[in-house]
Structure 1
Amino acid sequence: MRIATWNVNSVRTRIDRVEAFLDAHDIDVLAIQETKARPDQIPTMGLESRGYEMAAVGYHQWNGVAIISRVGLADVAVGFPGMPQFDEAEEARALFATCGGVRIGSLYVPNGRKPDDPHYAYKLEWLAALRTASESWLDQPTALVGDWNVCPYDEDCFDPSQFKNSTHLTPPERDAFFAIESSYADVVRPFAPGPSVYTYWDYYRQRFERNRGLRIDFVLGSPSFASRVTGAWIDTDARDPAQGTGAPSDHAPVVVDLAD
């Protein structure tokens, strides 16, 4: 089974690229983030004609997550136990489904903005709640996938000095990520080690062309999931403005292969 995760930065804008990616790489399950759409706004005809079904949650033009699968889509759940919201605002940041016997969570971790911003405390609270909830899923094949908005190591950022007053690299964020990774393995890094291996490149100043990126998209797997991983890679071609139709997302898909 081949599983992928991708922050598409507007599924309505990138649906042609999503369909092309599914076709090109024979993807069985694709978790997407930052759909920026309600479920009824997502164009699904091309997905359905390819044999995929979709579960999605989104409330407005921000956030939004979905799971697209051709190997089953069961026990769909929005959010997770204890998941906080910011100031009572309804945000679509987590969606779970069982696909081909694997429990998959499509996650869009809050950005945090700046360390002195209320969204930063919200981000840490969100990750802490995810850690607590995820401990009860370790006895089954589970993959926590998506845009984590954390660079766990300095090598995951093109220039850590530029982020001294920002988020993504602060010790509390990294500790929150490592707390989850202590139980769920990063199954991609062994196959795509750094440095200078990224999943996100800002549109600003030709960051992609100069490979000035961040590694913030991850697949973390429970022990029974991780033991089945046979390969993993980052599809940087999908981020390349010179390839495909229309503008690309600022993220690249992350792909993992599982043994049966």
Structure 2
Amino acid sequence: MARKLLKVASYNVNGIRPRLPQLLQWLQTEAPDIACLQELKATDAAFPIDAIRAAGYGALWHGQPSWNGVAILARGDDPIESRRVLPGDPRDDHSRYLEAAAHGIMVGCLYLPNGNPQPGPKFDYKLRWFARLIAHARALVDCGHPVVLAGDYNVVPTDLDIYDPKSWRKDALLQPQSRACYEELLGQGWTDALRARHPGERIYTFWDYFRQHWPRNAGLRIDHLLLNPPLAARLRDAGVDRWVRGLEKASDHAPTWVTLAR
């Protein structure tokens, strides 16, 4: 019997080959219906599709050697690809965007550029990529179909979303331009699901490997699931699978998720 709720998750795996055991453990334990993965750091040929299928998931992926890479997994189903490149710059060869239909909804999986060091060309690229995302999202938000844009946005939206903003003020993730782009995206009508369900809570999705940030819960919220109005009306809950960050040799991100009425 089908579950009453649809669970959609986003998880920056920080290298799918070395962290495949952690990924499979999470899939088995939490069983998301749709999982958007980022930072595969693997070529298309190196994607572990056999293990993913053995876990009960169909998949689409767009890899790249050593860095970037995104994938969409669907439990008991095969995602139907609609796009694998963010429009707006035919010269951009980074594997950062993948879009597909799965379980009755449109899913955009994204890995937005980090942008450090800033100022500089990497930050300029981040802002150009963000502008392209905003332009594409404008066509999706009112398309009439339920849509989620899920991924690692590499943006800390507000000071509530970071343990201590003072030492991060110069980081690309907190720059006013980065935050303004995120606000412009929300202004189109997207709902930040995790913040909507936890409006005043300090809730994080990323803890880096330095200075004991994980044991101290010194985290950042940079992984977001944005829902367009038809899908936001179906939002029931949202959260973070923090236990995954505590696994041995874990990614520095934890999966974040939403549950939706079917």
Say yes or no: TM over 0.5.
yes
Deviates more, 1:184-193 or 1:248-257: 184-193
Identify which of 97, 105, 124 aligns with 1:102.
105
- AA aligned to 2:242 is T
Kept in 1, the 8 Å contact 2:59–2:78? The answer is no
For residues 1-260 of structure 1, what are the structure 2 equivalents within 5 Å?
Answer: 1-70=6-75, 71-82=77-88, 84=89, 88=91, 90-138=93-141, 139=143, 140-182=145-187, 183-240=189-246, 243=247, 246-260=248-262
Instruction: Give the TM-score normalised by the residue count of structure 2.
Output: 0.92
SS at match of 1:12: coil
* CA separation of 1:135 and 1:89: change in aligned 2, threshold 3 A: closer
**CA shift for structure 1 position 89:** 5.6
- CA deviations over 1:211-243 (Å, ceiling 9, x no partner): 111110000011011111111110110001xx4
- AA aligned to 1:11 is I
Kept in 1, the 8 Å contact 2:106–2:147? The answer is yes
**CA shift for structure 1 position 160:** 1.0
Kept in 1, the 8 Å contact 2:60–2:81? The answer is no
SS at match of 1:40: coil
Identity rate, percent: 35
Hey, which bits of structure 1, 4+ residues long, moved more than 6 A? none
CA RMSD of aligned residues (A): 1.4
Kept in 2, the 8 Å contact 1:56–1:67? The answer is yes
| Structure 1 unmatched ranges of 5 or more | none
Distance in 2 (CA, whole Å) between partners of 1:215 and 1:206 is 17
| Structure 2 unmatched ranges of 5 or more | 1-5
**CA shift for structure 1 position 31:** 0.3
User: For this pair of structures, how many residues does the alignment match?
Assistant: 253
2:3 equivalent in structure 1: none
**CA shift for structure 1 position 191:** 2.3
Distance in 2 (CA, whole Å) between partners of 1:180 and 1:190 is 15
Distance in 2 (CA, whole Å) between partners of 1:185 and 1:152 is 13
Kept in 1, the 8 Å contact 2:238–2:258? The answer is yes
Kept in 1, the 8 Å contact 2:146–2:229? The answer is yes
